[in-house]
Structure formats: structure tokens, C-alpha cells
Structure 1
Amino acid sequence: MSIDAVAPLDREELRKLLADTIDTDVSEVSDDADFVEALGVDSLMALEVVVVVERKYGIKIAETEMRSVRTLESTYELVHNKLRVAS
């Protein structure tokens, strides 16, 4: 069963949300582009990304999980798992 079949999480919607939050073009946010190394996200912006994702999806990301919010793919997997547990 694919991730998409489990929870109603739209990867492209998440990509746009992340691009808007870090003020970059959607095309720059590839699945595996590292937010810090490839997109120049600093620690304050990374925290903003976490807050925006938490608000959008109604989840809570623990401080220990914040390290995994580094790429679209890792963020997608984290949000997906949080939504699956919540449902």
C-alpha cells in the first residue's frame, strides 16, 4: 500500500506550502533538495517551516523530530505518519 493511499496528504500542496514559507520558487523544492544546504534555510526559517506545517495539518512536531524536516520527502513522510496516527 502506498503512502498516498493511507492519508489524504497532497505532496504538491505540501511542496507549495514549503516554497511559500521559505520564499522560493516551487520548482526549487524538489523531493530531495535539502532545505539548509540546497535552499539556504537558516535555523529561524526552519522553525517557521515547522510551525506552518503544524498549523496547516493540525499536528505537533516534537523537538527531536524537527531534524527530519530537511527535505520535501522527509517532511512528507513525517506529516503522513502523524496524520495516520491521529486518524
Structure 2
Amino acid sequence: MLFLGLPSARSFTPVEVTVAGMPYLDFMDQFAGTNTVIISGVVGAGLLCWLMPPQKIVHALGAKSRWWSWQIFIVGRSLPFLAIGFVIWLFFAG
């Protein structure tokens, strides 16, 4: 707790502890409050598509045509990789 609390307390003092140009407390709020929720949702949906048989997913979503079945399968399997690549790109670009 001291490891996380001390930089938070010092981020708004004359010491001005910053991470990526933001005060530490704002950075932790952005990281834990916003990005983690979005990333966990995308990764969770992707894992669900990887672990469930495609027939169950298609039946649960009510896809009638084979084209939609294929699209659900492709998006579900590729979305986690695209999301991780996007996060890495954002990290190194900014």
C-alpha cells in the first residue's frame, strides 16, 4: 500500500511525481479506471469465442446465415489480438 499510496500523495505536492506527463494519481485513475475495464471486456469476449464451440455462439446469437456465422467467428477470434496491438501502438506512439 505504501508503494502505491506514497506517489499518489506526492503527485500534488511540490515534488510533482508524474508518469507519462500526468500526475501519478491521474495516471492511475486513467489506467485502472478506464483502460482496464475496456481491455478486460474485449479480452473476455475474445476468450469466450476461443473457448466456446462456434456452433454454440452462432446459436446463442441467432445467426441464420453462414456469412454471419463466419463473421462472428473471425471477429471473435481476431479482436483480442487487434486490441492488444492497438494498446501497444498507443503505448509506443504517445
Higher relative contact order (CA 8 A, sep 6+): 1
Larger strand proportion, structure 1 or 2? Answer: 2
Report the structure number with the largest CA radius of gyration.
2
Larger helix proportion, structure 1 or 2? Answer: 2
TM-score by length of 2: 0.28
TM-score by length of 1: 0.29
